[in-house]
Structure formats: C-alpha cells, structure tokens
Structure 1
C-alpha cells in the first residue's frame, strides 16, 4: 500500500512514530508538510498559512498512491480539494475543539473516513468515525532504574521531581496552572519539589525523564488522547491530569494517578505521589493502546477506504 501523508508539523513525535511503525508493516509513504515552519505557542498560523498546503498536495496527488491521509483536521481542506485520491483524516484534538474547529468539521465530513483520538471527540464530532488514539511504543517506554535515570539527567535524588513535558508558551497546556498546583503540593511535602519542563529533546530520551520523575503533571485545557500520559503509564510513572480527552478513561483504576478538573484534588494527587515515591501500575493498562494494536486498527481503515 502507498499512502500520501499531509501533516501540519513534520517534526511531530507521534506522527513520526506512526510513519515508522507503518513502514515496518510494509506501507510506503510520502509526507507533504505545511510550508510555514512550526513554532511553539498558539495562534502563530493563519488560514492563509494552511492554504499554502494546497499546491504541493495537488502536485503529489497525481502520483501512484492508494489513499491520502490528512493528519490533523487542519490539513483536511487540502485533502478534499484534490479529487484523485480517497481520503482518511485524523483529528488530533485542538483542530476539532480549537478556534479552527468549524473549518475542521466542514472539510472532514467530505473525507472517506474520519479518525478521532477519544470517545469525547467522537461525541463532539457527532457522526460516524473511528476512535483510534495514537499508540505508545512499549519497547521504548518501559520501566527502568530510577537512580540511573536521575544520574543521567543530573537530578538530585533528595528532591521530588514533577515532569511537565510541554513548552511553557503553549497556552492550551496551561503552565501557570501547573505552577500553582505544584506550589500548593510542595507546601505539604517534606522535601524540595522541582517542576521540569521538557521540550525539544529526542523522543528516544523521554523514557529517561519518565523514569527519573516522581509524577507527570498535565494541566491542559483540552486534548484528544495525550501521548505523554500513555507513555508515562507505560513507564509506571504516576500521572496527575486534568480530565481532558481520554485521560479519565486511561487512568481509570491506575494506582497513584488522578484525573480531575479540581485544583485541590490535583494537588492532593501530587502530594500522594511525591510522598510515597512509589511507581504506578499503569503499564498493564497501556497495553490497550500499544502501537501494535493501534496500527492494526489504522490499517483496517486504510484497507476499507482503498477497497471502496
């Protein structure tokens, strides 16, 4: 099978993981990325910027492909304006629930198949779609020795470490709220507490951060199916998160992990994780969203669309 990918950010870690896994399964892929460079932060791209994806899409759509996969609803307009290839669109979260949501909805409904990341998004979308979250690589993200991880990063073993693996500038991640929650929790923990923002490091290095940290904190305003939560689960790292996307479903029954929209509850979850310093049992639940299982489902959608 040959697939033409459209993507807003060619450096997206979960997109590149998807490409890598599909290539191992024999899928040949070409990627066309939005010409405007991606910058951290919100609101940096305009509608005109997204329209610049159309000319290269039209050129590549004349090639020998079985289908076009629009990764992010913001690439859906370019996907449907070419008429030579059947189209699959994956909605990632902010594209559907952010300021360009109406555009995403309008054009994604003209695609042959729609994929969303969570049941919440499926309800929001409102018509037939496939719920296939991005998978987690259980071979890469696996529990490892914490002391060795702390030593590699130069983090003090006498401190408590909260991992916030996002840039402070992305308003949808709400770093100020994370700071407030950490500050509230630190007053109840009998040890210094540090919050670590981690961005721009190789994806292969993230398991080290996951295994060194005491807890992962996510305070996003909205999400689809955040990979950082699933990757933390795979490393048995406790997770404290706002109840966005599919987080509540993923953390249901996982020890030392909390999904809530109440700051006091989130702070209490941090305190428990930071005081006990135990690992969670999240890896057992992470098998539900392994790259193997998610890729099987994605390939089923590809075959169905290509056959039609």
Structure 2
C-alpha cells in the first residue's frame, strides 16, 4: 500500500504527542512493508526538501505565510494535487490548512482520504474561534473524509455533534507498554528527595501550565514538593517570572529519556482546557505514575480510579488532587493502560482500515 501522510508538523522537528504519533505510525507502517511518504511544512530552512528516515520518506515545503500559527504552503498544495500514484491519503488533525487542502483534493479526485482527529480544539487559539471553524470549514473538512479516526467513543460523539456524517472508526491512541514501565532507571535530570510533581507538555495557553505552578506553591511545606516542567513554548518567560524555587524548568527532553523521567515522578499534572487522548497521560500511567488531569469527557474514563480529575482552571482542585495522590489515595495506574492502549494495536487497526479503503 502506498500511503501519503499529510501532517503540518512532524517529530522530531516539532516535539509533542501528536507529532510523535505521526512519526511512529509512519515508521511502523513502513516496517510492515508499506510505502509511506510524509508531506509536511518545513519549519527549519536547514532541513532537506526530501529525506529518507526510519524507513519512510519526508517531503518538506516552505510556508509562504501564517495565520493563527497555521502555516500556508503553496508548494505543499502543488505536491498534494499532483500526487496521483498513492492508494490512500491520511491527513492528521482537521485544525491545519494542509488537512483542509487534503479534503479539497479528495473532493476533486478519486484517492480515498482518512483523517485522524487528534483533538477537536486548538491549544493556541480561543475556543470560540474553533467553535465557528468546526461549524463551517472544520465540518466540511471532516465530511470529505472516507473515514475519520477518533481515539474514544466520547470524541466520536463530539464530532457527530458538529453534524459530521462521515464514517468514524474509534481506534485508541496507544503507547509502548514495554518501554513505558515502572521497572527501570530513573532520570539524572531530577534531583529531589521530596515529592516530585511533573508537568509534561508545550508551554502554551491551551495546556494551562500556570495552574501546576500555582498549585505546587500552595501545597503544605511538609510534602516538600518540587515541580519539574518538561517542555518548552512561548509562555516560558512568563512562567519563570511567576515561579518560585519549588519549580524547575527542564526544557525539551529527548523522547528517548521520557520513561526515566516518568519513573522519577510521584504525580503527573495535566490541566489542559482541551485534549484528544493525551499520550503523556497514557505514558505516565503505563510507567506507574498517577495523574491529576482536567475533567475532560474523553480523558476522565481512562483515568478512572488511578488518578484525580479536576475542573478546568480550578487551581485549588489541583492542589487537593495532588495531595490525594501523594497520600496514596488512588489505584494502580498501569492496570488502566496495559492491554487497553497498546501502540501495536493502534498501528495494526489503523492500517487495516486504510487497506479497506
């Protein structure tokens, strides 16, 4: 099968759960014998136009302009509309212009289109903006797809609420539970004998990284808690200005080191206002790390009794949730993930659906 994968951003140039998903899916489908080409926008002029890596081909085109962090590339559009020798186009995230182009190409052509929903709302723009988008261009983009992949039943239902009639397949996001496990070394980057609180994610408004900074500052002194912020982004300077000595900024940590980082923590905090099914939460739980997360309808059922869910923006709720976890008041996180969110199953099921198109 010849697969043209379309993604606005890719790993490792742009770190993140969604970009790693795209990379790992391409790598593993190539290892299965499929011919995978990844079409993307070039964010670094030093990167080559064509590159072969991890068994698949990357084709990059420069952006001409940008709106709301959404790069627009005429070169990408030309390639997409001239690529007629693929069996399927698989676009990632309806939030990007490249996926809108893939939808237009499907409207005008014969090559089937699959679209993976990595989360309905953007982390970098107000919710009302994307409510308008989802009821117009976003809905139209979903409607052009021969199949839409959603991570959870809840996400499927949310897509349907916007009037989307396309076929939807629920294929859970997954992680490598043999890499992310409680057994193994801890990270040399984390040096604290007290309670270790982790935040892992981009430092952008939609992730609400200010909430764990404020919450840890309000924890009782006897917990001797320290917050480690793993990730980078435009809010870093603002967060550093508000943070006390109880917060350490690690910046971007190589993905290969993340199992050790999770093993070094006592609790992961993810206070996002919007998510799909966050890879960070699954990785942490697979590593035996309890979580305190926003009470999002597609995330809460996964966490179950192995963590605490809190209303978005409720800092005191995050304080109480962290205390509950540190007091041992939750169940075994790994048991919630193992056997239910396996990456090999994610790849296998996705590939099976693509072959059926």
* TM-score, normalization by structure 2: 0.74
For 1:52 and 1:35, the matched residues in 2 are separated by 10
For 1:252 and 1:111, the matched residues in 2 are separated by 32
RMSD: 2.6
Q: CA deviation at 1:89?
A: 0.5
Q: CA deviation at 1:50?
A: 6.2
1:128-181 deviation digits (Å, cap 9, x = unpaired) = 411223211112211124xx415x22412x22111111132x110001122222
1:97-124 deviation digits (Å, cap 9, x = unpaired) = 7624342221121111111222232122
Whether the 8 Å contact between 2:121 and 2:274 is mirrored in structure 1 is no
Structure having the higher helix fraction is: 1
* Match of residue 198, structure 2, among 150, 163, 169: 163
SS in 1 for 2:72: helix
Tell me: higher relative CO, structure 1 or 2? Use CA pairs within 8 A at least 6 residues apart.
1
Match of 1:85 in 2: 111
Q: Any residues of structure 2 matched to 1:219-258 within 5 Å, and which?
A: 219-244=271-296, 246-254=298-306, 257-258=307-308
Match of 1:272 in 2: 324
1:243-284 deviation digits (Å, cap 9, x = unpaired) = 125211111132xx11221544432220132344x9952222
Cα 1:33–1:95, aligned 2, differ >3 Å: closer, same or farther? Answer: farther
* Match of residue 332, structure 2, among 276, 281, 292: 281
Q: Are residue 49 (structure 1) and residue 49 (structure 2) matched?
A: no
For 2:344 and 2:158, the matched residues in 1 are separated by 27
Match of 1:6 in 2: 6
Deviates more, 1:126-135 or 1:241-250: 126-135
Match of 1:66 in 2: 87
Whether the 8 Å contact between 1:236 and 1:280 is mirrored in structure 2 is no
SS in 1 for 2:91: strand
Cα 1:52–1:35, aligned 2, differ >3 Å: closer, same or farther? Answer: farther
For 2:258 and 2:171, the matched residues in 1 are separated by 23
* TM-score, normalization by structure 1: 0.84
Q: Give the count of matched residue pairs.
A: 289
Match of 2:152 in 1: 118
Match of 1:149 in 2: 186
Structure having the higher strand fraction is: 2
Whether the 8 Å contact between 2:324 and 2:330 is mirrored in structure 1 is no
Whether the 8 Å contact between 1:76 and 1:104 is mirrored in structure 2 is no
Cα 1:50–1:93, aligned 2, differ >3 Å: closer, same or farther? Answer: farther
Whether the 8 Å contact between 1:118 and 1:225 is mirrored in structure 2 is yes
Q: Are residue 172 (structure 1) and residue 203 (structure 2) matched?
A: no
